[in-house]
C-alpha cells in the first residue's frame, strides 16, 4: 500500500456513504455484490443494507426475478423470514420501466441476480453511472460448483464484493457450495431449504445426490 493512500474500507464491502440524498447527478453511483452459497445470508445482508439506506431516507427500489416465487411474488424474503417489498421482473431491461434515470432512487437492490441474463450487468452499470448505488445479491456458484450466470461479470465490474459463507451441514466448516439434494437437472431449478444444503469444499460432491444422501453418480 502506498503511503498516504486510504486504507481499504473496513466496511466489508458495503458502500456506507449514507449522506442525505443530493441530486442524482451529484451522486457517485456504485455496484455492490453480495454473493455466496445458499443459506449464507445473502438476502439478509441485502435487506440489512436496504434497511440502513432507508434509515438515511434514501429511496430504495428492490427487484427480483419473476422466476423466483418460492415464498412470495412481490416480496424479497430471506430464509429467515425477513422481508421487503419488491418488484418481480422477467428481464433486467424491465428495471427501466420502473426506474427513471432522471429521477433515479438512491439505491436499487436486485435479489437472486444469478437468475438474470448478462443484460443485468449492463443494467447495473447504467444505473451506477447515473448515480445509483446498486446492490446485487446472488449465488456465485450453481449446484455443480460452477460460476452462476452473470455473477462473475457483476463481481468484476463491482466496486465492492462481499462473499458470505454458510455452515457446512456435514462437518460444520465454513461452506461455500450449495449441494443439491434432489434429482433435478439444470441451473434454473429453484429450490428451498429441503432441496439444498450448504457444504464446504471437502464435503461438496459435484452432481446430484438423492434425498437420502446416497453417493452420487459423478458426471
Ligand atoms: Zn464440510
Q: Which of 112, 159, 185, 197 is catalytic?
A: 112
Domain that holds residue 130: 30-165
Residue 160: phi, psi to the nearest 5?
Answer: -130, 130
Q: What is the pLDDT along the chain (219 residues), one digit of tens a residue?
A: 445 444 444 456 777 666 655 565 678 999 999 999 999 999 999 999 999 999 999 999 999 998 755 555 677 777 766 778 899 999 999 999 999 999 999 999 999 999 999 999 999 999 999 999 999 999 999 989 999 999 999 999 999 999 999 999 999 999 999 998 877 666 666 666 678 899 999 999 987 654 444 444 443
CA distances from 31 to 34, 116, 160, 193, 202 (A): 10, 16, 7, 29, 32
Assess if residue 22 is contained within a domain.
no
97 within some domain: yes
Q: Is there a domain that residue 212 lies in? A: no
Residue 76 lies in a domain: yes
Model pTM score: 0.82
- Residue 216's pLDDT is 44
What's the structural domain count of the chain? Answer: 1
40 alpha carbon to ligand 1 midpoint, in Å?
A: 14
Domain CATH code at residue 160? 3.40.50.300
Give the contacts of 213 (CB within 8 A, at least 6 positions apart).
181
Q: Is residue 218 part of a domain?
A: no
pLDDT at residue number 23:
60
In this predicted structure, what is the pLDDT of residue 172?
97
Rg for the chain, CA atoms, rounded: 18
- The string of DSSP codes covering 98-119 is H--GGG--SEEEESSGGGS-TH
Distance 74 CA to ligand 1 centre (A): 35
Answer whether residue 175 is part of any domain. no
Quick check: is 1 in a domain?
no
Q: Ligand 1 centroid to 169 CA: how many Å?
A: 7
**Is 112 noted as a catalytic residue in this protein?**
yes
Cα(146) to ligand 1 centroid in Å equals 18
Does 69 reside within a domain? yes
Measure 13 CA to ligand 1 centroid, in angstroms: 26
Report the separation in Å between the CA atom of 198 and the middle of ligand 1, taken as the mean of its atom positions.
8
Amino acid at each position: 500500500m502506498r503511503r498516504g493512500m486510504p486504507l481499504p474500507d473496513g466496511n466489508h464491502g458495503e458502500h456506507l456513504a449514507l449522506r442525505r440524498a443530493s441530486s442524482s447527478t451529484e451522486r457517485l453511483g456504485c455496484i455492490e455484490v453480495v454473493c455466496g452459497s445458499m443459506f449464507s445470508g445473502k438476502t439478509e445482508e441485502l435487506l440489512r443494507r436496504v434497511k440502513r439506506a432507508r434509515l438515511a431516507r434514501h429511496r430504495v427500489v428492490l427487484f427480483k426475478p419473476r422466476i423466483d416465487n418460492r415464498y412470495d411474488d412481490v416480496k424479497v424474503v430471506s430464509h429467515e423470514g425477513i422481508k421487503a417489498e419488491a418488484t418481480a421482473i422477467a428481464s433486467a431491461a424491465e428495471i427501466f420501466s420502473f426506474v427513471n434515470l432522471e429521477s433515479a432512487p438512491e439505491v436499487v437492490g436486485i435479489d437472486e441476480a444469478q437468475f438474470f441474463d448478462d443484460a443485468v450487468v449492463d443494467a447495473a452499470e447504467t444505473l451506477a453511472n447515473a448515480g445509483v448505488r446498486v446492490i446485487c445479491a446472488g449465488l456465485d456458484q450453481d449446484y455443480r460448483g460452477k460460476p452462476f450466470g452473470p455473477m462473475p461479470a457483476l463481481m468484476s465490474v463491482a466496486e465492492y464484493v462481499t462473499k458470505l459463507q454458510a455452515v457446512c451441514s456435514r462437518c460444520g466448516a465454513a461452506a461455500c457450495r450449495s449441494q443439491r439434494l434432489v434429482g433435478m437437472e439444470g441451473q434454473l431449478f429453484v429450490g428451498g431449504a429441503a432441496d439444498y444444503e450448504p457444504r464446504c469444499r471437502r464435503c461438496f460432491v459435484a452432481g446430484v445426490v438423492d434425498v437420502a444422501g446416497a453417493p452420487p453418480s459423478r458426471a
